[in-house]
Structure 1
């Protein structure tokens, strides 16, 4: 699974897009309503029909405010969050103008629009804030400026508040449903992305290891060794970094896909040209993963896993902490698995002998801090080695049978 932080980032991006779309649609709907109301009531006034008590001046004022809000959004290029608050404050202004200018005895009902519109944004804090603000405005104007004097009393106030709270509750249900919908969409997208990444990585591994039967399972084992070591480091308490290291281990040798099989499986000593070709695989691998946005974060581990602590490694010759931590961990895991696995040009050695080689390379080949940490988790690496040994034996038996 991809990290929770990535999911939150994606959800945040969805909410920004959603908020901008909601703001635009609310403004469009408001413009249509105001324009229709102005034309509708103007016709009644023009033909002197007794079907309107609306205040055209207030409706025209709202339309003017609409142009100011829309123009301000476009000229100032306001963020989705600021636009949301601007639109909601504008709607409160419109509702107050409708209360005073509509002429309806039930004009206080326009305040129900505030919690309903606030709920469309899918933000609980925004819903509560503007619902309370709308409620206070409804109580204030209803008490201080009743449309019909002498009718408004405490019972009316109680009934209006109750109905307002009912509408606000339904708005909250709308908000919850909206959040669940986006949560489900993001989960589906991220699960799909996670499956796609795994499939791409598996395809790469198969392509590389198919060229050399001796390296069967090498990438998987390197990743497992690296993860066991990283779990002991505070830098990898973030699951996102641990996942990145794991995938880097799986793809650290992807650049070998560019190397001919006769070079990879050669049983004798390599020529200088062949060795130079082998040394090119980190650069090729780094270029390959950076071409895919979903794998770009793996480049440091893939590109620098053959660098050495003292600067004598390749391909760049960087040293010490200039080498990314992922690459320093993979360097140790890569060597350990390489020497404990049988290759075309030599036999495997035991894990204890491999640990001695790593100890001897502390401060020259390997990061001494990581070598110290390795001492604490040797047993974990032995477990990985034993499990892998059984898998290798099964694979060798299968290939011999075939």
Structure 2
């Protein structure tokens, strides 16, 4: 959920900056043409405009100054947005007084449209209220000298303004709907790509060691089962621990097959080689920005609660929670499956050994929480029994 929100905010901030930039350019073009238009009439003394050329030149100069200031000061997108909108309010007031027509009040109808294209509810409400206040004030207190509206026309103006503001609000809602759909599309596409990458790694690891066939999938399921019982994990966190479980042994790609498949006890040097898989695995996934959030689980899942683990010798709660959860899931599956150097043990025996290692190898709080998901562990264990038998047949055929 946090990633989803962050993605949405990034997308929206980008939209906000683009709209402000376009609005700035449009106003520049409008003022530039107005200045050229009125300069032409002034030079040829043609009486086709009542607008004040100096007023437009001052407005243009102020806008250019704002644009120049933006080049030297990196304003936040939201601040720059309000600078342009406040400027627009001032410009509409200037245009109102420059126009001698009774329809001059209609310029204020532009304000909810300008605010609405940003797609922000607060911005639309604030500037719509400002525009409504200005429209009402000028219609009653400062009407055009050559025309005075009666009460009915003023009420109709306000009604028209409210209708236009409401339509702007509907446009805003549609913009938000489009944003969410696009963000969800990107999010779903990203997650699908990540899962494909992860599954490719898993296949590569298991192709090197038939004894660990299905191990990554089972560790992932056990880890999610345990994590789902903890208050620290929301939906997005569970997705992370799921992928971390699948990738926790990815570093074994760099471990020679003769070591992974060795039937006897490993020599010390061989064991040191195996221990490098957590570090090399973390180095592999940190190169991919979309997988970096999995690094903690992959790197530290062999750390021990008492500080005697590897690769960093972290102790207690200094070990990331993902890694502590994965350590239990990894150990449980390792004990209950047959490896090249020993036979797997039964479900109850494995659970008993986890409890014996409480406070030494494993987080005691997590071991206590494990009791709440024992039935779920058994379901996973029983459900994967078919895969386990297939794996053992493959091993026997070697």
TM class by smaller structure: over 0.9
TM-score (norm 1): 0.94
Whole-Å separation in 2 of the counterparts to 1:214 and 1:400: 11
1:291 equivalent in structure 2: 287
Tell me, in whole angstroms, the C-alpha distance in 2 between the residues paired with 1:323 and 1:50: 81
Q: Say if 1:100 and 1:321 are closer, same or farther in 2 by CA, change over 3 A.
A: same
Cα distance in 2 for residues equivalent to 1:198 and 1:372: 31
Using the alignment, how far apart are the partners of 2:173 and 2:280 within structure 1?
A: 48
Aligned residue runs from structure 1 range 141-152, under 5 A: 141-152=138-149
Which residues in structure 2 correspond to 1:364-383 (within 5 Å)? 364-383=360-379
1:218 is the counterpart of 2:218 = no
**Alpha-carbon distance in 1 for matches of 2:221, 2:286:** 23
Q: Secondary structure at the match of 2:49?
A: coil
CA distance in structure 1 between the partners assigned to 2:165 and 2:173 by the alignment: 12
Counterpart residue number, 2:345 = 349
Distance 1:58 1:138 in 2: 21
| Paired residues for 1:252-267 under 5 Å | 252-267=248-263
Residues 51-84 of structure 1 deviation map (CA, whole Å, 9 limit, x = unaligned): 1111222222221221232233333321111111
Retained in 2: the 8 A contact 1:45–1:52? Answer: no
Q: How far apart, in 2, do the equivalents of 1:372 and 1:399 lie? A: 35
User: Which of 301, 320, 330 is the equivalent residue of 1:334?
Assistant: 330
Comparing 262-271 with 250-259, which one deviates more in the overlay? 262-271
Q: Does 1:277 align with 2:273?
A: yes
Q: 1:94 to 1:125 in 2, by over 3 A?
A: same
Q: Secondary structure at the match of 1:63?
A: helix
Q: What SS class does the counterpart of residue 258 from structure 2 fall into?
A: helix
Q: Which residue of 2 aligns with 1:111?
A: 108
Q: Which residue of 1 aligns with 2:320?
A: 324
Hey, what does 1:39 align to over in structure 2? 36
Q: Is 1:200 equivalent to 2:197 in the alignment?
A: yes
Per the TM alignment, residue 162 of structure 1 is displaced from its structure 2 partner at its CA by: 2.0
Matches within 5 A, 1:60-79: 60-79=57-76
1:58-97 to 2 correspondences below 5 Å: 58-97=55-94
What count of residue pairs does the alignment treat as equivalent? 398
String of CA shifts for 1:298-347, please: whole Å, max 9, x gaps. Answer: 11111111111122211222222221111111111111101100112211
* 1-structure distance, mates of 2:369, 2:142: 75
For residues 166-186 of structure 1, give each alpha carbon's deviation from its aligned partner in whole angstroms, at most 9, with x where no partner exists.
222222232222222222211
**Equivalent position of 1:244 in the other structure:** 240
Structure 1 alignment gaps of length 5 or more = none
Q: 1:51 aligns with which of 48, 52, 64?
A: 48
Per-residue deviation, 1:398: 8.1
Q: TM-score of the superposition, structure 2-length normalised?
A: 0.95
TM superposition shift of 1:264: 0.7
Matched, 1:17 2:52: no
Deviation sequence 1:352-397 (CA, Å, 0-9, x none): 1111211221221112221122123222111111011123224556
**Native 8 Å contact 1:38 1:59 kept in 2:** yes
Partners of 2:102 and 2:147 within 8 A in 1: no
Tell me what 2:382 maps to. 386
Partner of 1:235: 232
RMSD: 1.9
Cα shift at 1:103: 2.5
Give distance in 2, aligned partners of 1:297 and 1:66.
44
Shift of residue 136, structure 1, vs aligned partner: 0.9
Q: Distance in 1 between matches of 2:269 and 2:391?
A: 32
Q: Distance in 1 between matches of 2:39 and 2:132?
A: 31
Q: CA deviation at 1:208?
A: 0.2
